[in-house]
Amino acid sequence: MTAISQPILPSSTPIETSRMMLPDDTNSMGNVHGGTILKLIEQAGYIVATRHCNSNNKSRVPLTTILARVENTDFHKPMYVGEIGQVQAAVTYTSPHSIEVTVDVWAENTLTGVRRHTNSARLWYVAVTSDIGLYEKPLKPMPVPQLSTLSKEEFEAGRRRYEMQKEARKTKMLNDKLRDTLNTQSDMHDLHSVPASQTTLTNVVLPSDCATSGHMLGGALMKMMDSAAGICSIRHCRTPAVTISLEAINFISPIFNGDLVFVTAEIIFTSAKSMTIEVHVEAEGLRSESPRRVTNHALFTFVSIDENGKARDVPKLKLSNQEEENKFEEMKRIYEARKKERMRTTKD
């Protein structure tokens, strides 16, 4: 069968994306999660902005777009499970190096035929070459094809919006102060020390994380625990790391839909090629006056790997107080006992 090549749509052509809202899209209150809607808005904005850049691209170098700013995002009405979310996006202004996209979201109840305007947003994108590669590579904004379908009044209104958002983004002084603060905090901890890699993940439990009874599924929680431990291990060695073992996890207290979960991971022991990460979990009932409670504790073991997937040496853990030394020595005894047991089993 011969493939039929379709021409690229004009850059001024709006797009519409649609999909049904499912139970996994809801928040703990039962309506569609705001983050789900924001994700749909940005996806539509990305599509129409990238299409615009490549429809009139004289350089012939494929371009992609990166979100630079989101503003004026309004949530007019809620959206519910079973409704069709319709996202309409259009390029409404271009500067030499940026693209303004206007997005509207509608919810359609297919049973009643009622259609409601639920969201509106304005986003700004910049164009870059599509081979952006690793995050360390500096991004250079590329020239943007200009939108030629605007009237004089539309162009002037767009230019005013552009100047306003440009002025609002002048936060270099604030960013410099924040960066200095973060650098100062970072300098407080020695590289490869326990505090330097400590990681805490905080998340709200959603219906998709729960069983039908409304309590958080163990698998969803263990995934979060493994993620925190993985981040901690990578921050310590600054290389890829993988889980190789997990101690027994005791589920001390259940976690429920709508609870706030805190997962804290810190490194407590290093051998030549492995790291032991201690993970603590606490939960807080956002809709109750109950205090934060301890729900779980576990020990994860990770190894650092090279580009060939082979275990590599792990930086030695720097200890700074008696508590850290006690945990290290206790884990060292356990590690050496297991090592002897493995050697004995291998011989047998």
Are 39 and 96 members of one domain? yes
What's the rounded mean pLDDT across residues 195-210? 93
The pLDDT of 83-103, averaged and rounded, is: 95
Alpha carbons 94 and 144: distance in angstroms, whole number: 7
Q: For residue 78, give its domain range.
A: 15-167
Residue 10 reports pLDDT greater than 50? no
| Cβ contacts of 19 within 8 Å, gap of 6 or more | 40, 84, 85
Position 103 in a domain: yes
Q: Quick check: is 268 in a domain? A: yes
Expressed in percent and rounded to 5, the helix, strand and coil fractions of the chain are 30, 35, 35
Kindly state the tokens that stand for 285. 């009932």
Residue 236 and residue 162 share a domain: no
Q: Are residues 257 and 334 in the same domain?
A: yes
Q: Looking at the structure, do residues 213 and 89 belong to the same domain, yes or no?
A: no
Mean pLDDT lowest among 165-169, 196-200, 226-230: 165-169
Residues 155 and 280 grouped into a single domain:
no
Q: How high is the mean pLDDT of the chain?
A: 86
Residue 340's pLDDT band, with cuts at 50, 70 and 90, is: confident
Q: 31 pairs with which residues across the strands? A: 80
Specify the 3-state DSSP secondary structure of 47: helix
pLDDT-derived band at 95 (thresholds 50, 70, 90) equals: very high
5 domain residue, yes or no: no
Q: Is residue 89 part of a domain?
A: yes
Give the model's pLDDT for residue 311.
92
What confidence score (pLDDT) does residue 9 get?
43
Q: Is 107 or 53 the better-scoring residue by pLDDT?
A: 107
For residue 176, tell me if it sits in a domain. no
Claim to verify: residue 218 and residue 122 sit in the same structural domain: no
Least Cα distance to 138 among 148, 125, 146, 128 occurs for: 128
Which of the two residues, 7 and 262, has the higher pLDDT score? 262
Residue 4 lies in a domain: no
Q: What is the DSSP letter of 77?
A: S
| 162 and 103 belong to one structural domain | yes
178 lies in some domain:
no
Indicate which residues carry an active-site annotation: 27, 226
% residues pLDDT > 70 (the chain): 87
If one counts the domains in the chain, the total is 2
Task: Determine the straight-line distance between the first and last CA of the chain, rounded to whole angstroms.
Answer: 62
Residue 45 placed within a domain:
yes
Residue 311 is part of a domain; what is its CATH number? 3.10.129.10
- Whether residues 128 and 41 share a domain: the answer is yes
Note the Cα 188 to chain centre separation in Å.
27
CA distance 336 to 344: 12
204 lies in the same domain as 339: yes
pLDDT at residue 131, rounded to an integer = 66
pLDDT in tens, 257-304: 989 999 999 999 999 999 999 999 999 988 777 789 999 999 999 999
Instruction: Give pTM, 2 decimals.
Output: 0.73
Q: Do residues 100 and 161 make contact, with C-beta atoms less than 8 angstroms apart?
A: yes
| Residue ending a domain, choose from 150, 167, 184 | 167
Q: Is the model's pLDDT at 120 over the cut of 90?
A: yes
Name residue 50's amino acid.
Answer: T
Same domain, 332 and 239: yes
* Residues 63 and 113 reside in one and the same domain: yes
Closest CA to 45 of 105, 97, 108, 116: 105
Alpha-carbon span 194 to 267, nearest angstrom: 6
- Tell me, yes or no, whether 312 and 259 share the same domain: yes
Collect all residues with Cβ–Cβ distance below 8 Å to 134 and sequence separation of at least 6: none
pLDDT tens-digit readout, 121-159 = 999 999 888 765 544 456 788 899 999 889 999 999 999
